[in-house]
Homo-oligomer: A and B are copies of this chain.
Amino acid sequence: MPTFEVKRMQELAEPLARTTAPVSPCSACSVRQLTICADLAAEELSELSSIVTSVELGPGDPLFDEEERADYVFNVTAGTMKIYKLLPDGRRQVTGFLFPGDFLGLANDETYAYSAEAVSPATLCRFPRRKLETLLDRFPRMERRLLGLASHELAAAQEQMLLLGRKTAREKIASFLLLLSERARRRGQKGNPVSVLMSRTDIGDYLGLTTETVSRTITQLRGDGSIKLLNGGKVEIADLKALQELAEGA
Q: Write the residues of chain A forming the contact surface with B, with a CB cutoff of 8 angstroms.
A: 83, 85, 87-89, 91-93, 95, 106-109, 113-114, 136-137, 140, 143-144, 146-148, 150-155, 157-162, 164-167, 205, 207-208, 248-250
Which B residue sits closest to A164, measured CB to CB? B164
22 A-B pairs, CB-CB below 8 angstroms?
A: A85-B159, A87-B166, A87-B167, A87-B248, A87-B249, A88-B249, A93-B165, A107-B151, A108-B152, A108-B155, A113-B158, A113-B159, A136-B144, A140-B143, A143-B144, A153-B154, A154-B157, A157-B157, A157-B158, A164-B165, A165-B207, A166-B208
Dominant SS among interface residues on chain A: helix
Instruction: Tell me the bound Cα distance from A151 to B108 in angstroms.
Output: 6
Q: Find chain B residues with CB under 8 A from A140 CB.
A: 137, 140, 143
Instruction: Tell me the bound Cα distance from A109 to B149 in angstroms.
Output: 11
Q: Find chain B residues with CB under 8 A from A248 CB.
A: 87-88
Instruction: Tell me the bound Cα distance from A207 to B108 in angstroms.
Output: 24
Q: Find chain B residues with CB under 8 A from A150 CB.
A: 147, 150-151, 154
Q: Find chain B residues with CB under 8 A from A207 CB.
A: 165
Instruction: Tell me the bound Cα distance from A235 to B199 in angstroms.
Output: 43
Q: Find chain B residues with CB under 8 A from A161 CB.
A: 85, 93, 95, 157, 160-161, 164
Q: Across the interface, do B208 and A165 meet the contact criterion of CB distance under 8 Å?
A: yes
Q: What 5 A-B pairs are tightest by C-beta distance, nearest first?
A: A165-B208, A157-B157, A164-B164, A87-B249, A113-B155
Q: Find chain B residues with CB under 8 A from A158 CB.
A: 83, 85, 93, 95, 113-114, 157
Expressed in whole angstroms, the minimum distance between the Cβ of A175 and any Cβ of chain B is 11
Q: A106 and B160 in contact (CB under 8 A), knowing A140-B143, A166-B208, A250-B89?
A: no
Beyond the given A113-B154, A113-B159, A147-B147, please list 13 additional residue pairs across the A-B interface where CB-CB is below 8 A: A85-B162, A87-B167, A88-B250, A89-B249, A93-B165, A109-B155, A143-B144, A143-B147, A147-B150, A150-B151, A154-B157, A157-B158, A166-B208
Q: Find chain B residues with CB under 8 A from A148 CB.
A: 108
